[in-house]
Structure 1
Amino acid sequence: MATEIFLQEHRIVVGLDYGTTYSGGAHGDTSQNSIDNIKVIRRWPGKERRDEVKCPSDIAYGADGTYRWGYLIPPGLARLAWAKLDLDEDSFYENQENGEDYVDLQESFTETLESVEDEFPMVEGMRHNPFNKSPVDVVADYLTAFHDVIMSNLRRAQGENFINRTAIDWVMTVPAVWSEKAQSLTREAASRAGIGQRDKDRLFLVSEPEAAAVYAISELYQRDSTRNNPNMLNVGDTFVLCDAGGGTVDLISYRVGQLQPSLGLSEVAVGSGAKCGSTFVDRNLLKLLRRKIGDQRFQILCQKKDGMVLNKMVSEFEGVKRSLGPLYLPGSDSYLPMPGFANDPAAGIIEGQFELTHGELKGCFDPIMEQIIELIQGQIDAICGTGSVPKYVFLVGGFGESDYLMSRLSAHNFGTAGRIEIISPDDAWSAVSRGAVLRGLDGCLVENRRCRRNYGTRINTIFDPTIHHEEDAFYSTDTGMKMARNQVSWIVQKGVDTDSNTKFQLKCGTTFQKDEKLRRGATLVASDLDIAPHSYRDKSVHDLCFLMADLSMVPESEFDLVNINGQTCLSAQFTIEMAFESAEIKFQLYFKGNCYGQVKTTFH
């Protein structure tokens, strides 16, 4: 595929993992494509220690329009957090068995966020957007600063002259089940930030779990290649990749197609995911805190030092979260700083601290654990449905480093598959950015992907009383036949293989006047149901994007002449081809076997 990553000359590859709560970057170059030669960005403005592989994804706007970001934001300052999720605010994550379950999850996420903002002033301060900027504007601002830091790191490491004359491939990752609109907005924000905009630089989007899978397998083989390890993956083996981050948890299942001379993977099941990352554990803590100390004290806590006290509690909770695991002694209590409040043991306030019991701490985690287990179970069931049993579940991402999550998954019985070995590779928090670099160095290693939804267009068709509703019936003025409007012709079915060599075609035809510039549009619709409905009226069907085909550059002599009501007109039959990449759909226009470039796409 022309837009896939194929490296000819010497190039630098940067992997960019823009996350909900933290973001990271890594880089390598084509002269050394070993995993050991990938360098992770560890120098961040405002951070004294220089060994952090990620930087907070927060941004804070000042009254003069300037902004601070990441570690440069002082504690307690109003900020805009979780901006990444706003790029996909209109979409929802689908469950393979029942889409309604995940509609409920998305509504629950929206309701939780709104209620948290309304009830918790400190959290409202974490969603501070004084200029009412759009999500893509906010993300572009953050990525501008992020891009500058990466370029500064590259120049420091390799010299300004070398960087200025060497092309860079930017491989940016997005959630596997990101909507097409969110993918487009992510690319727009990155481009506005200057990413991939230098001469000869390029920007690619890759799914987060695909990048993480490349890293996990490469880490397993490159570092253990000298060992005779019977537990290594073999050709034909399957595994689940679970990328658990701050906002989202994404999963894809793969089958190993080949190991030599390079890694080859194919998707076994349609990717799944949900907004149930580690930030939801924090929100459960806030609910618990408010419930135990009461509304009045909670409001005072939120207002103390402009929210800095509560902010400090949430920050300290990060360490408590990390401590929860198999070595955590049942009955042990944790304490979070809560200065300035009188002792009230019944409310958990003891000597200026908030007491968090072992059971309460688990209670903050367990609802999220159940959602993640359910997601993994869905992928395992899909693999078992193919006659295979997954050998491993690879757990990556910041939340993927949780000992408690690891122990819960390791102890869980996954139905007919039983217990499955859970592997968290080294440097799991930076697995996505490292894998993105490997993906850029080695090209596309996933040979086949599964289409995540159904794609089609609205049509009129011959009326069938067993399928169509009378409210959609009409009689054609040309043929007199009874027809049905508001129907859908599905071009791509959910779950089908979408390898790089497969093109899906939307065939179009039109007539137009001589001397008219030929531009025609078509609306692409989508449905996330496993079985696509016939009717456009079905609640699962939604307008996805508007495709504008521009044939104005085609010589008029190339079109066919037709007679319409005694008038000579021109006729054109053209095709819009859809090609599925890791995290994008590419649309190209073809007329009489010639390609006339990409089709302008406007997402709804």
Structure 2
Amino acid sequence: MSRKLICGVDYGTTFIGVCYAWSDAENVSDIHIVSSWPSTGSTGGDYGHQSQVASRISYQPAEQWGYAIEPRAEAFCWTKLLLDRHTIATEYDDKRLREVDGGGILTLPSWKSAEEVVTDFLTHLYKHVMKYLATIITAPILDLTAIEWWFTVPAVWSIRAQEATRKAACKAGFGSRPGDTIHMVKEPEAAAMASLHLTTRENKQLIEVGDGILICDCGGGTVDLASYLIKSITPKLQLDQVCVSEGGKCGSTTIDRAFHGLMQDRFGESFTKLPQSRKGASSKFMGDFERTKRAFGSLTNDTTYGITLPLDVEQSAHYDEAYSEVLVTSTDMRSLFDPVVDHVIALLEQQVNASESGEAVKIKTIILVGGFGSSAYLQDKVRAWAKTNLGLEVPKLQKHWEAICIGAALCGLEGRGIHNRKARYHIGFVFNMPFRSGIDDEHTAIIDWFDGVKRTPNRMSWVINRGGNITNETQKTESFQRKWLKYSEKKWQLDLWQCISHVAPDWFDEDVKLLGTIDIDLTAVNLTGFPSKRKLSSVHPYKAQRYYRVDYDIAIVPEDDLGYMQFKVLVRGDKVGEAKLRFGD
């Protein structure tokens, strides 16, 4: 078999990282990070951080992206979060997400959708990475080499958002060449692969078979947690997910939004009326705050940080007029960090309890990854909590920023190390189901005219249950019946529903949400041999028409080897067609 390139892509809210390795690579050290990015010169290697590029794009005065955006251009940032705008909010989501005051932060150009903006950004990324790879292995070899692209997505994301990411990547060019493919992997899964490889390389005694580990991926937009049971370490790492992953939109950008709120409270219109080029996410002001944020740690002595921002205000405890600097104290920084840190610790506690109660797996190690996971302040707070409440040490990881990206590539090199995963949602259908005596309401019962079976209408049937085991080979089926006249069209739609409640309801309630609509086509099915029955026509009451009943199954593959949800239509056990899931507006 000819060698492939395996490329991991960690598309984060604030930064995106890409790495690559040949398919015959044997060590983590054989995975290389793309570390050269286009820049304006003044922003090259933004804040000394070149292992990733900023996830932002500008359209005026010209289309620019990443570090190449001119400082005064309006940049659209954090757009990734808008792909998941339809999901149900969690108790840990930052409430300010719906109060951002524009300026490219969680806003869109008037002529673009979130999916289109993400596609535009990923198009620039794809072109640059392909050009970069051509300089490394030469263009002729690259033309002959197939590439597996492994994209990461947050574990807490909806199925709709995962599909939106995949479609945007496809439209951007990823997987477009003959032989190229796009795979999707959850961020905690990639983080587990990378962090365990990296930490065991430095300390082989850190984990053993049978240990429980908790991965906490703290990024810019989201915090994702997942717990795993170590099934084997050699020759390949194999893990089983212990309980349903949890998380929320409470990453490090929550601190940025709180900082903006602090500036508004202190300086009022002098701050709010500034153009976004001076205070927005891609401004020098927020760049300086980003440096301050990364340097801040709980062991830091009381310090006052000066961040340059010319304002029309007088000298005060919060503003140095002589140096045109806003003054932020260590106490201020703690007030910005602590609510986010509290959310992270609450999520950790929730995940530990779920792991040890559901599967009775004792968590032995907690590993922090992600850009925000490298924060000294967050690390110290989590270590103190883990030691006091669990008696655990939290190991130091050398590559917090790159871990997700490297882990995605490892999934391509070694295979997906997580064998059993836990379904995050109940997924199912609603239809007329057999009546349950003593449970269902007699007043709503109906009798099927075709077979005389007593049924209860519009009851939920959950094919996949939250917390259920899922592997790449898992296939769940639901049986249906459809009645047709012989020459009527055999195409129709079937709604697919999801619910995140711990206990799935039998009937519609506020937690049951439409996931999408499945297009079904059974045109190729020959009705001969299926049961039939004549029924008087409602139009011509003295004329009976013959109806055929087809029993068919819809098979759902929750997550195939590419990381996608797939559907198949089966009649008498044979596959007769595909079912396509469409998402509404």
Q: Using structure 2 for the length normalisation, give the TM-score.
A: 0.90
Aligned CA distance change for structure 1 residues 305 and 408 (closer, same or farther; 3 Å):
closer
Alignment of 1:454-603 (within 5 A): 454-461=426-433, 473-476=444-447, 478=449, 484-536=456-508, 538-554=509-525, 556=526, 560-565=530-535, 566-581=544-559, 583-596=563-576, 598-603=578-583
Q: Distance in 2 between matches of 1:310 and 1:47?
A: 13
Q: CA deviation at 1:347?
A: 4.0
User: Structure 1 residue 324 and structure 2 residue 296: aligned?
Assistant: yes
Aligned CA distance change for structure 1 residues 481 and 336 (closer, same or farther; 3 Å):
same
The residue aligned with 2:310 is 339
The residue aligned with 1:140 is 119
Q: Distance in 1 between matches of 2:546 and 2:432?
A: 26
User: Structure 1 residue 366 and structure 2 residue 338: aligned?
Assistant: yes
8 Å Cα contact 1:463-1:473 kept in structure 2: no
8 Å Cα contact 1:77-1:125 kept in structure 2: no
Q: Distance in 2 between matches of 1:319 and 1:551?
A: 59
Q: CA deviation at 1:276?
A: 0.4
8 Å Cα contact 1:257-1:265 kept in structure 2: yes
In structure 1, which of residues 32, 51, 62 is the aligned counterpart of residue 25 of structure 2? 32
8 Å Cα contact 2:222-2:247 kept in structure 1: yes
Aligned CA distance change for structure 1 residues 567 and 434 (closer, same or farther; 3 Å):
same
8 Å Cα contact 1:264-1:447 kept in structure 2: yes
8 Å Cα contact 2:83-2:165 kept in structure 1: yes
Aligned CA distance change for structure 1 residues 418 and 308 (closer, same or farther; 3 Å):
closer
Q: CA deviation at 1:517?
A: 4.8
The residue aligned with 1:115 is 99
Alignment of 1:83-98 (within 5 A): 83-92=79-88
User: Structure 1 residue 278 and structure 2 residue 249: aligned?
Assistant: no
Q: Distance in 1 between matches of 2:461 and 2:578?
A: 22
Q: Which amino acid aligns with 2:266?
A: K
8 Å Cα contact 2:270-2:313 kept in structure 1: no
Q: Distance in 2 between matches of 1:450 and 1:571?
A: 36
Q: Distance in 2 between matches of 1:39 and 1:483?
A: 60
Instruction: Give the count of matched residue pairs.
Output: 566
- Alpha-carbon RMSD across the aligned residues, in angstroms, is 2.6
User: Structure 1 residue 391 and structure 2 residue 391: aligned?
Assistant: no
Q: Distance in 2 between matches of 1:406 and 1:342?
A: 37
**Higher RCO (CA-CA < 8 Å; seq separation 6+):** 1
8 Å Cα contact 1:414-1:420 kept in structure 2: yes
The residue aligned with 1:72 is 68
Q: Distance in 1 between matches of 2:151 and 2:556?
A: 21
8 Å Cα contact 1:246-1:278 kept in structure 2: yes
Q: CA deviation at 1:414?
A: 7.6
1:58-94 deviations in Å (ceiling 9; x for gaps)? 111126xx5211111111321211110110001035x
8 Å Cα contact 2:317-2:327 kept in structure 1: no
Q: CA deviation at 1:114?
A: 3.9
Q: CA deviation at 1:29?
A: 1.4
Q: Which runs of 5+ in 1 are unaligned?
A: 1-7, 94-101, 118-122
Q: Which amino acid aligns with 2:521?
A: D
Aligned CA distance change for structure 1 residues 33 and 521 (closer, same or farther; 3 Å):
farther
In structure 2, which of residues 343, 348, 358 is the aligned counterpart of residue 376 of structure 1? 348
Q: CA deviation at 1:482?
A: 7.6
Aligned CA distance change for structure 1 residues 452 and 235 (closer, same or farther; 3 Å):
same
Q: CA deviation at 1:326?
A: 3.7
Q: CA deviation at 1:570?
A: 3.6
Q: Distance in 1 between matches of 2:64 and 2:413?
A: 33
Aligned CA distance change for structure 1 residues 458 and 393 (closer, same or farther; 3 Å):
same
8 Å Cα contact 2:57-2:64 kept in structure 1: yes
Q: CA deviation at 1:281?
A: 0.3
Q: Which runs of 5+ in 2 are unaligned?
A: 536-543
The residue aligned with 1:174 is 153
Q: Distance in 2 between matches of 1:262 and 1:56?
A: 34
Question: What secondary structure, in the 3-state scheme, does the structure 1 residue paired with 2:100 have?
Answer: helix
8 Å Cα contact 1:180-1:584 kept in structure 2: no
Q: CA deviation at 1:526?
A: 1.2
The residue aligned with 1:97 is none
User: Structure 1 residue 23 and structure 2 residue 19: aligned?
Assistant: no
Which shows bigger deviation, 459-468 or 378-387?
459-468
8 Å Cα contact 1:10-1:31 kept in structure 2: yes
8 Å Cα contact 2:485-2:545 kept in structure 1: no
Q: CA deviation at 1:239?
A: 0.6
Q: Using structure 1 for the length normalisation, give the TM-score.
A: 0.88
In structure 2, which of residues 129, 134, 137 is the aligned counterpart of residue 155 of structure 1? 134
8 Å Cα contact 2:279-2:286 kept in structure 1: no
Q: Which amino acid aligns with 1:36?
A: S
8 Å Cα contact 2:8-2:20 kept in structure 1: yes
Aligned CA distance change for structure 1 residues 570 and 481 (closer, same or farther; 3 Å):
closer
Question: What secondary structure, in the 3-state scheme, does the structure 2 residue paired with 1:71 have?
Answer: coil
Q: CA deviation at 1:571?
A: 3.4
Q: CA deviation at 1:319?
A: 1.4
Question: What secondary structure, in the 3-state scheme, does the structure 2 residue paired with 1:156 have?
Answer: helix
Which shows bigger deviation, 373-382 or 50-59?
50-59
Q: Distance in 1 between matches of 2:265 and 2:210?
A: 51
Question: What secondary structure, in the 3-state scheme, does the structure 2 residue paired with 1:421 have?
Answer: coil
1:106-135 deviations in Å (ceiling 9; x for gaps)? 5x54xx234331xxxxx5244553333111
1:239-264 deviations in Å (ceiling 9; x for gaps)? 11111111011111100011122111
Question: What secondary structure, in the 3-state scheme, does the structure 2 residue paired with 1:124 have?
Answer: coil
8 Å Cα contact 1:559-1:570 kept in structure 2: no
Q: Which amino acid aligns with 1:54?
A: Q
Question: What secondary structure, in the 3-state scheme, does the structure 1 residue paired with 2:291 have?
Answer: helix
The residue aligned with 1:259 is 233
